[in-house]
Amino acid sequence: MMMEKKMAITFVSMMVLAVLSTTSNASRVNDISCLEATPLLLPCLPFVQATDDQKPSDACCSAANTIVQRATSTQNRRDLCQCFKQAAAGIGLNPEKLKQLPQLCKISLSFPIDPSVDCNT
């Protein structure tokens, strides 16, 4: 169970990294916290841990879209990025699967999901 939580945190960190480049004038009232985002992405664990041609589930894509939509302010995206990068340190996922997720879930991002992104940019 603890490993699943760590894996979920890792995956969420990758999604948050992707959210960093989007812009919005929305209020921080609706921003999503690290604690809210983490459990949302549990359905994505089988996909991001897979080494085969598995596709993400509908539940995974729905969760990823929710996080992208709820991370409305630049500061929220930066906070989430930092939170998940710290939590994810040392836990490995399939980086190729992470990079595929936005396209497979039809999430528009301006750059690939990359664990080396600078959260402050």
pLDDT tens per residue across span 5-42: 565 555 555 555 554 434 444 445 678 888 888 788 88
The whole-angstrom separation of Cα 18 and Cα 21 is 7
87 or 114, higher pLDDT = 114
Q: What share of the chain is helix, strand, coil (3-state, %, to 5)?
A: 60, 0, 40
3 or 54, higher pLDDT = 54
pLDDT in tens, 59-71: 999 998 998 888 8
The whole-angstrom separation of Cα 65 and Cα 62 is 5
Confidence of residue 2 (pLDDT cuts 50, 70, 90): low
End-to-end, the C-alpha distance of the chain in Å comes to 34
Confidence of residue 96 (pLDDT cuts 50, 70, 90): confident
Joined together, the tokens standing for residue 6 give 């760590």
Q: Are 77 and 22 in contact (CB under 8 A)?
A: yes
Joined together, the tokens standing for residue 25 give 């004038």
Joined together, the tokens standing for residue 120 give 């402050």
> What is the 8-class DSSP label of residue 32?
P
Question: What pLDDT score was predicted for residue 21?
Answer: 39
- What mean pLDDT comes out for the span 83-97? 67
Question: What pLDDT score was predicted for residue 43?
Answer: 92
The angle, 0 to 180 degrees and rounded to 10, between the axes of the packed helices 2-19 and 74-88 is 140
Question: What pLDDT score was predicted for residue 56?
Answer: 95
